[in-house]
A = this chain, B = another copy of it.
Amino acid sequence: MEDEKFEAISHPMRIKILEILSKKAMGFSELKRELGIESSGKLDFHLKKLKGLITTEDGKYILTKDGYAALQAIYTIRRYGWQKRAYVLNIIIYIIVNILSAFKAFNIWLYTVFPASTIWIIFYSYWSIVKRGIFKRM
C-alpha cells in the first residue's frame, strides 16, 4: 500500500513539486515555470506519478493529507536528529520542573506534578524509544 508512495517521492523533481506545493497552491504553468522546465509532458508525467499525494482545488494543485505525510517522511530523513534532541530536551524539562516543584512544595509535587509528568514521560519515552527507535544505532 505505501510502497507506491516511496516510488512517488523517489524522483528529485517530485520532491521539488511537493515542497513547492506545500508552500503555495499553483496551476500547471506556474508550476512549470517554478520548476524551470519547458516540457509540459514532463510535468504531466510527474504530476500523474504523484496521484494520491496531490489534488486540485480551484484549478490549482495542492497537497493531500498523504502528500503532507510524504513530505513529513522527507523531513524525517533530512532532520532525523530533531527527534533525539526533542526527546533529550523533554527529559531535561521534566527533571527541572520536578526538582523545582519538589523543593517549593513537596506535597503538591508528590500528588500532582510528579504523577502527571511521570505518566507523560513514560508515554513519551515509550513512543520515542520503542515505537520510533530513536536511539537505535544512532
Binding site for B on A (CB under 8 A): 2-3, 5-7, 9-12, 15, 22, 62-65, 68-80, 82, 86, 89-90, 93, 96-97, 100-101, 104-105, 108, 111-113, 116-117, 119-120, 123-124, 127, 131-133, 136-138
Contact = CB atoms under 8 A, between A and B. Distances in A.
Contacts of A78: 2
25 contacts: A2-B77, A3-B12, A3-B15, A6-B15, A6-B74, A6-B77, A7-B10, A65-B137, A65-B138, A68-B138, A69-B80, A72-B132, A72-B133, A73-B73, A73-B77, A82-B127, A82-B131, A93-B117, A97-B113, A100-B113, A101-B113, A104-B108, A104-B111, A105-B105, A105-B108
In the complex, the count of this chain's copies comes to 2
